[in-house]
């Protein structure tokens, strides 16, 4: 790689905010003594007006259906990218995490339960739009909202 190309790559990393990720290993804790929070499988849930039209559009981008009922919701995948199309189910586009699942929706041994994730976030002062019932076990979810109003759904199915 030429020195000019190396500089261009470093500049791109700095501009995109990836410089810190390139400089440290991905499993390095973000704060002293703390392990990174394991949220599980990630996808973007899109609030769509017309499921069929949205499906046709994303299929042109190479996405293929991998789940859903095809009437009100559909999960699409293109390589490791996953999106959910939800008609009439979400008021806004939502970041979605599924504790206990890997990228192929297979159970991950030793995952952190959604209720424990909720307790950890509460301890950090995070407010909740919806909370998981901590007296239950199994499937549950919570919703937090980032500073810009974007919902983050943590939705455990196991």
Q: Domain limits of the chain? A: 1-34, 37-156
0.75 surpassed by pTM: yes
Token duo for residue 150 = 């974007």
Average pLDDT over residues 131-139: 97
Q: Name the CATH superfamily, with its identifier, for domain 37-156.
A: 2,3-Dihydroxybiphenyl 1,2-Dioxygenase, domain 1 (3.10.180.10)
Model pLDDT for residues 54-77, shown as the tens digit of each residue: 999 999 999 999 999 999 999 999
The pair of three-digit structure tokens given for residue 55, joined into one six-digit string: 């499906």
More confident residue, 97 or 18: 97
Residue 27 has what pLDDT?
42
Closest by CA position to 37, among listed 135, 124, 103: 124
pLDDT, tens digit, 9 for 90 and up, residues 10-26 = 333 333 334 333 333 33
What are 33-49's pLDDT values in tens digits? 466 899 999 999 999 99
């Amino acid at each position: 790689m030429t020195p000019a190309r190396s500089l261009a790559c470093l500049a791109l990393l700095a501009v995109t905010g990836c410089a810190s990720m390139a400089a440290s290993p991905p499993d390095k804790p973000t704060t002293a003594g703390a392990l990174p929070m394991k949220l599980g499988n990630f996808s973007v849930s899109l609030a769509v007006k017309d499921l069929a039209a949205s499906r046709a559009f994303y299929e042109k981008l190479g996405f293929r259906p991998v789940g859903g009922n095809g009437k009100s919701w559909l999960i699409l995948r293109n390589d490791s990218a996953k999106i959910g199309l939800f008609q009439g189910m979400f008021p806004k586009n939502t970041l979605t995490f599924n504790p206990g699942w890997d990228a192929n929706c297979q159970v991950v041994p030793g995952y952190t339960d959604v209720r424990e994730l909720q307790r950890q976030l509460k301890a950090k002062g995070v407010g909740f739009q919806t909370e998981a019932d901590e007296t239950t076990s199994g499937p549950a979810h919570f919703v937090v909202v980032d500073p810009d109003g974007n919902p983050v759904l943590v939705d455990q199915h196991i």
